[in-house]
């Protein structure tokens, strides 16, 4: 079979493909042709005096559509929002796992869904008890006893955590002296952004060669402007890091940091790889955030509000934001500023995203300790299956170092020689009905692709993805990339966009 015939065959819909046909173009309701038969049969309004006596009612310009037209309009648009319930969602770093319906069912229980944060505490004892139980689970899983459930997202938790560290230094009279926060260059963008927001100066630790934090690079950064590191407030490290690797030197690094008087902020967004296996408090973490919407399966990515509780050591617990739920005898109460004067204060109104607390605890209780352990084992197994299946087809920069954690890192190095880049691969995936992986992140190497299958994907789903990725790698070699790849996607309602123009000249209003 000639190469051309093979490619022709590949471009035909195959059983591995996602949905292609029956996509509806859908205009705005206002753009629909005004019909003479409005959906609602009210008499004409013209000439009717308002009872208030001010002017006459004229047409108010609502679109005139029937109920089926209105219904179809919204249902069609709802299908444009790709979600984990549609299919495989391999976004690295985002942990797009299944949101069990059991969580939803429990969160809709009227006793949880219909309460208000301003109700007297005596009337919401069950809800406070649930939050208390969640605090205990998080404390147990992290081995960090201080828990504040309030932060509304991962990045908000980072802010809460770094403000806690700042507060601790201030209370020890070292606030002015300790100005620097160390972060590896593999850090999630929110890490340096948080440190700067808190008024710290960010110092980079280079991880280039093997994608890992080394003791040497850390020491160099620690002592750059002070031989004892007395100007260091702390470090922000994601572990496992954004290359999908567990930081092997973390114990040694933490010891050096603690000796210098700095605190270890762990970005806990990748906790899905560790949960139930190891406890971050055991590798020296002082404070970390947990993305309930990643590790503990509450919806995200447009599907629901996030929730980013923080967990910290006993030492830091008095400084973290309020409130926390306390238990005295059989009664629960929220602990506010008056109860804990050392606190940095409150970060938001009320107590956090309670609906997400319900879902997260439902997830924990339905898995149990052994189930949570299996979550991380299966997540890591899935990522390694993808890494090993694709390492011959794509450049896998760190594959020689051993297994990855819960996400696999590839780059476009081999395909670039043929004129095909990460963006083209992502668009080719869309053409094949797959949501792309995370692209051009982490920034440690050019053209990165970060793939996180999560534990909830079956081997069958992963095999389909692997097959399509192999076909794309084959096509990149076999066809004229300029003509073929740069046109993807062909079948989606929107074709290849001018992303630079869209970013520089966003048109945000419909005219
Ligand atoms: C998702 C993520 C964050 C931020 O969490 P949000 O809930 O999106 O604010 C921070 N760090 C890492 C490594 C992440 O993956």
DSSP notation for 36-89: SS-SS-PPP-TTPBPTT-SSB----------HHHHHHHHHHHHTTS--TTTS--
Closest CA to 269 of 175, 354, 173, 157: 157
Residue 19, pLDDT > 80, answer no
Which residue's CA is minimally distant from atom 14 of ligand 1? 269
pLDDT grade, residue 6 (50/70/90)?
A: low
The fold of 101-366 is 3.40.640
pLDDT for residue 270:
95
User: What's the fold here for domain 377-504?
Assistant: 3.90.1150
Residue 415 has pLDDT above 70, yes or no: yes
Ligand 1 contacts CB of residue 190 (under 6 A): yes
Q: What is the mean pLDDT of residues 223-232?
A: 96
pLDDT, tens digit (0-9, with 9 covering 90-100), for 82-116: 889 889 999 999 999 999 999 999 999 999 999 99
Ligand 1 within 6 A of CB of 290 = no
Neighbours of 44 (CB within 10 A): 8
List of residues 6+ apart from 63 with CB closer than 8 A: 29, 30, 32, 34
154 Cβ closer than 6 Å to some ligand 1 atom? yes
Ligand 1 neighbourhood includes 306 CB (under 6 angstroms):
yes
Q: What is the mean pLDDT of residues 450-472?
A: 97
276: left (phi over 0), alpha (psi -120 to 50) or beta: left
In the chain, what are the domain boundaries? 1-43+63-80, 101-366, 377-504
pLDDT score for 335: 96
Whether the CB-CB separation of 236 and 265 falls below 8 Å is answered with yes
Angle among Cα 51, 52, 55 to the nearest 5 degrees reads: 90
- Cβ of 238 closer than 6 Å to ligand 1, yes or no, is yes
pLDDT of residue 114: 96
Check pLDDT > 90 for residue 78.
no
Collapsing DSSP states into helix, strand and coil, what is residue 264? Answer: strand
Place of tokens 């980013």: 308
Neighbouring residues of 242: CB distance < 8 A, sequence distance ≥ 6? 93, 186, 187, 188, 270, 441, 442, 444, 450
Is the C-beta atom of 450 inside 6 A of ligand 1?
Answer: no
Instruction: Report the C-alpha gap between 404 and 302 in whole angstroms.
Output: 28
* 293 CA: nearest ligand 1 atom: 7
Task: Please name the residue whose Cα sits nearest to atom 5 of ligand 1.
Answer: 154
Give the atom of ligand 1 at the shortest distance from the alpha carbon of 155.
9
- The region of weakest confidence among 26-30, 309-313, 345-349, 463-467 is 26-30
Predicted confidence at residue 349, as pLDDT, reads 86
Instruction: Lowest mean pLDDT of 151-160, 266-275, 475-484, name the range.
Output: 475-484
Nearest-angstrom CA–CA distance, 353 and 443 = 32
Percent of the chain with pLDDT over 90: 72
Q: How confident is the model at residue 29 (pLDDT cuts 50, 70, 90)?
A: confident
Q: Is 29 helix (H, G, I), strand (E, B) or coil?
A: helix
Task: State in Å: Cα 155 to ligand 1 middle.
Answer: 6
Span 25-50, mean pLDDT?
68
pLDDT band at 21 (very low <50, low <70, confident <90, very high): low
First to last CA, the chain: 52
Residues 6 or more apart whose Cβ sits within 8 Å of residue 317: 145, 146
Is 309 a pocket residue for ligand 1 (Cβ < 6 Å)? no
How would you write 108-128 as a 3-class SS string?
CCHHHHCCCCCCCHHHCHHHH
Best mean pLDDT range from 11-20, 327-336, 498-507: 327-336
Strand pairing category for 448-451 and 408-411:
antiparallel
Q: Is 18's pLDDT higher than 70? A: no
Q: Give residue 62's pLDDT.
A: 73
Distance CA 352, CA 152 (A): 6
Q: Among 377, 491, 392, which residue's Cα sits nearest to residue 433?
A: 491
Q: Is 134 in the pocket of ligand 1 (CB under 6 A)?
A: no
Decide: 307 and 292 in contact? Cβ < 8 Å.
Answer: yes
Q: Which residue has the higher pLDDT, 72 or 345?
A: 345
Instruction: Answer whether 269 contacts ligand 1 (Cβ < 6 A).
Output: yes
Q: Helix (H, G, I), strand (E, B), or coil: what is residue 238?
A: strand
Percent of the chain with pLDDT over 70: 91
Place of tokens 């280039």: 208
- If phi > 0 it is left, if psi is from -120 to 50 it is alpha, else beta; for residue 446 that is beta
Q: At residue 456, does pLDDT exceed 90?
A: yes
Between 29 and 230, whose confidence is greater? Answer: 230
CA distance 162 to 339: 22
> What average pLDDT does range 54-73 have in this prediction?
77
The closest-lying atom of ligand 1 relative to the alpha carbon of residue 187 is: 13
Question: Residue 247 above 90 pLDDT?
Answer: yes
Q: What is the mean pLDDT of residues 379-398?
A: 97
How does the average pLDDT of the chain come out, rounded?
Answer: 90
Report cis status (omega within 30 of 0) of the bond before 240: yes
Query: Which single residue is written with the structure tokens 């997260």?
Result: 360
Task: With CA atoms as reference, report the closest residue to 110 among 98, 96, 124.
Answer: 124
Q: Is 24 helix (H, G, I), strand (E, B) or coil?
A: coil
Q: Is 183 in the pocket of ligand 1 (CB under 6 A)?
A: no
pLDDT at 162: 98
Q: Could you tell me the distance, in angstroms and rounded to a whole number, from the CA of residue 188 to the centre of ligand 1?
A: 7
Q: How far is the centre of ligand 1, averaged over its atoms, from the C-alpha of 269 (Å)? A: 6
Provide CB contacts within 8 A for 199, sequence distance 6+.
166, 179
Does residue 291's CB lie within 6 angstroms of at least one atom of ligand 1?
yes
Q: Which atom of ligand 1 is least distant from the CA of 291?
A: 7
Mutate to test the pocket of ligand 1, among 91, 93, 294 (most ligand atoms within 8 A of CB): 93
In whole angstroms, what is the distance from residue 363 CA to residue 372 CA? 9
- What's the gap in Å between 76 CA and the centre of ligand 1? 30
Q: Tell me the per-residue pLDDT of 180-218, one tens digit each, with 9 for 90 and over.
A: 999 998 888 899 999 999 999 999 998 867 889 999 999
Residue identifier of the C-alpha nearest atom 12 of ligand 1: 269
Residue 231's SS3 state is coil
* Count of CA atoms in the C-beta half-sphere (13 A) of 482: 0
**For 326, phi and psi rounded to 5 degrees?**
-110, 155
Helix 459-478 to helix 3-11 angle (10° resolution) is 140
Q: Is the CB of 268 under 6 A from ligand 1?
A: no
| Angle value at C-alpha 193, between 501 and 207, nearest 5 degrees | 95
Six token digits for residue 111: 């006793």
Question: Residue 112 C-alpha to ligand 1 middle, in angstroms?
Answer: 27
Name the residue with the closest Cα to ligand 1, atom 1. 94
| Cα distance between residue 266 and residue 284, in whole Å | 9
The overall pTM is greater than 0.75: yes
- Residue 153 Cβ < 6 Å to ligand 1: yes
DSSP state of 469: H
For the CA of 93, the nearest atom of ligand 1: 15
Ligand 1 pocket test: pick from 152, 160, 183, 188 the residue with the most ligand atoms within 8 Å of its Cβ.
188
User: How many whole angstroms from 93 Cα to the centroid of ligand 1?
Assistant: 7
Atom 4 in ligand 1: which residue has the minimum CA distance? 154
Give the angle 71-298-137 at the CA atoms, nearest 5°. Answer: 160
Q: Backbone phi, then psi, for 202, in 5-degree steps? A: -95, 130
pLDDT tens for residues 315-374?
Answer: 999 999 999 999 999 999 999 999 999 999 999 889 999 999 999 999 999 999 999 999
| β-bridge partners, 184 | 205
Q: Residue 221: what pLDDT? A: 96
How many angstroms does the Cα of residue 324 sit away from the middle of ligand 1? Answer: 23
Helices (H) and strands (E) in the chain, counts: 17, 12
Q: pLDDT at position 45, please? A: 65
What are 224's two structure tokens?
């750059």
């Amino acid at each position: 079979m000639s190469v051309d015939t093979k490619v022709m065959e590949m471009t035909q819909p195959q059983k591995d493909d996602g949905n292609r046909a029956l996509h509806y173009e859908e205009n705005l309701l206002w753009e629909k042709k005004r019909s003479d038969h409005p959906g609602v049969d009210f008499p004409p309004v013209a000439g009717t005096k308002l009872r208030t006596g001010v002017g006459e009612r004229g047409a108010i310009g609502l679109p005139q559509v029937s109920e089926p037209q209105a219904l179809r309009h919204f249902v069609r648009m709802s299908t444009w929002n790709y979600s984990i319930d549609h299919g495989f969602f391999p976004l690295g770093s985002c942990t797009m796992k299944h949101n069990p319906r059991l969580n939803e069912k429990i969160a809709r229980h009227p006793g949880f869904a219909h309460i208000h944060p301003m109700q007297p505490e005596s009337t919401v004892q069950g809800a406070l008890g649930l939050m208390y139980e969640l605090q205990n689970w998080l404390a147990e899983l992290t081995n960090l006893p201080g828990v504040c459930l309030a932060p509304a997202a991962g990045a908000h938790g980072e802010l809460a955590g770094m403000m806690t560290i700042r507060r601790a230094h201030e209370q020890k009279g070292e606030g002015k002296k300790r100005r620097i926060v160390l972060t590896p260059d593999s850090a999630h963008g929110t890490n340096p952004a948080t440190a700067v927001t808190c008024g710290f100066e960010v110092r980079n630790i280079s991880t280039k060669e093997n994608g890992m934090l080394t003791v040497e690079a850390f020491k160099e950064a620690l002592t750059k402007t002070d031989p004892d590191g007395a100007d260091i407030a702390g470090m922000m490290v994601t572990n496992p890091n954004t290359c999908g690797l567990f930081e092997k030197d973390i114990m040694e690094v933490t010891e050096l940091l603690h000796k210098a008087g700095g605190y270890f902020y762990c970005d806990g967004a990748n906790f899905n790889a560790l949960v139930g296996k190891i406890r971050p408090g055991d590798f020296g973490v002082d404070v970390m955030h947990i993305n309930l919407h990643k590790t503990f399966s509450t919806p995200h990515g447009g599907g629901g509000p996030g929730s980013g509780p923080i967990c910290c050591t006993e030492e830091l617990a008095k400084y973290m934001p309020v409130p926390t739920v306390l238990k005295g005898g059989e009664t629960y109460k929220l602990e506010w500023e008056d109860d804990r004067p050392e606190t940095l204060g409150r970060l938001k109104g009320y107590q956090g995203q309670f609906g997400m607390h319900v879902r997260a605890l439902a997830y924990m209780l339905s898995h149990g300790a052994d189930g949570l352990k299996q979550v991380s084992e299966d997540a890591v197994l899935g990522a390694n299956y993808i890494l090993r299946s694709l390492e011959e087809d794509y450049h896998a920069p760190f594959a020689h170092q051993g297994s990855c954690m819960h996400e696999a890192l590839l780059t476009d190095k081999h395909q670039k020689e043929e004129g095909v880049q990460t963006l083209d691969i992502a668009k080719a995936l869309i053409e094949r009905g797959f949501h792309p992986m995370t692209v051009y992140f982490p920034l440690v190497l050019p053209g990165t692709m970060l793939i996180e299958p999560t534990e909830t994907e079956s081997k069958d789903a992963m095999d389909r993805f692997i097959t399509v990725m192999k076909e794309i790698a084959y096509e990149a070699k076999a066809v004229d990339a300029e003509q073929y790849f740069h046109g993807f996607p062909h079948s989606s309602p929107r074709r290849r966009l001018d992303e630079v123009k869209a970013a520089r000249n966003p048109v945000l209003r419909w005219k």
